[in-house]
Structure 1
Amino acid sequence: MSGYILLGSAIILEIFSTSMMKASVGFTKLIPSIIFVIGMGISFYTLSQALTTIPLSIAYAIWSGVGTAITALVSVLIWKEQLNIYTVAGIALIIIGVVILNLRNQ
């Protein structure tokens, strides 16, 4: 399986798991808490498999950057959190950083 497919799977699992952390209400709800722990475990495992073909600096930058950016959007769309100029600027800077890291390794 392609490293980038594994990386994409790790990102999706991380985003879903992070939403379950929010749904767990501080780990006071059992099912979302369990889903969070299992989901993050599988996400890290999948990320580790992606690292067999993708350099660490690239894979981790993409995993954390895309995960952070999409999680911020999920927080606005699903959890009805506020979107402000700082959130938008932060997401833009993350995307710019990931692009720069990828250009360095071309």
Structure 2
Amino acid sequence: MTLKLSRQADYSIIVEVFVSVKLRNDVTYRQTYHSSLICVRHRLLFSTESTPFMSYFYLALAIVAEVIATSSLRATEEFTKPIPTLIMVVGYGFAFYFMTLALRTLPLGFTYAVWSGLGVVLISIIGIIFYNERLDLPAVIGIGMIIAGVAIIQIFSKIVPH
């Protein structure tokens, strides 16, 4: 199996995987997988222009990276496991990088409120699913209030670009 990365004129990266399998009777099966699904657009992630849509996109990426990093924190076993520790460090690096991109047009207080609030909610869900953690009634009410707070800021606040 070989892997080929090619760069297109619009800065997208195309991944092609060549699989060659030798079967009985010296028959070789060859298959090429051409994937444009794994496509990273240069101007999307590294553009210097920032619109409200892109800021929300960056904020969503920051939240996802933070949730991945925080979820792997327990698996590091006090930083003795190298792979989960690497995932955690890289995840937090991406989280803060994308958060700074979101801060180009979004206010700091709003960005941090959404980032931390949705992070708490998502981490709680991951704790329930993967770590068999149970939330009591006050925790569920608190998480509901966090979601309501983020919604109120998003809908009614004048500091947020719509």
TM-score by length of 2: 0.61
Match of 1:51?
A: 103
Task: Determine the C-alpha separation between the residues in 2 that align with 1:101 and 1:54.
Answer: 12
Pairwise CA distance, 1:43: 0.5
Pairwise CA distance, 1:100: 2.7
- Please list every run of at least 4 consecutive aligned residues from structure 1 whose deviation after the TM superposition is greater than 6 angstroms: none
Query: Which protein has the larger Cα radius of gyration, Structure 1 or Structure 2?
Result: 2
- Local SS of the residue matching 1:27: coil
Identify which of 22, 30, 35 aligns with 2:74: 22
Pairwise CA distance, 1:6: 0.6
Pairwise CA distance, 1:87: 1.9
Superposition CA RMSD, Å: 1.4
Identify which of 106, 113, 137 aligns with 1:61: 113
Pairwise CA distance, 1:72: 0.5
- Local SS of the residue matching 2:112: helix
> Which structure carries more helix by proportion?
1
Match of 2:123?
A: 71
- Local SS of the residue matching 1:77: helix
- Give ranges in structure 1 of 5+ residues lacking alignment: none
May I ask how many residue pairs the two structures share in their alignment?
106
Task: Determine the C-alpha separation between the residues in 2 that align with 1:104 and 1:27.
Answer: 41
Query: Which amino acid in structure 2 is aligned with residue 104 of structure 1?
Result: S
- Give ranges in structure 2 of 5+ residues lacking alignment: 1-43, 45-53
> Which structure carries more strand by proportion?
2
Task: Determine the C-alpha separation between the residues in 2 that align with 1:90 and 1:28.
Answer: 33
- Local SS of the residue matching 1:46: helix
Task: Determine the C-alpha separation between the residues in 2 that align with 1:25 and 1:96.
Answer: 34
Identify which of 91, 97, 101 aligns with 2:149: 97
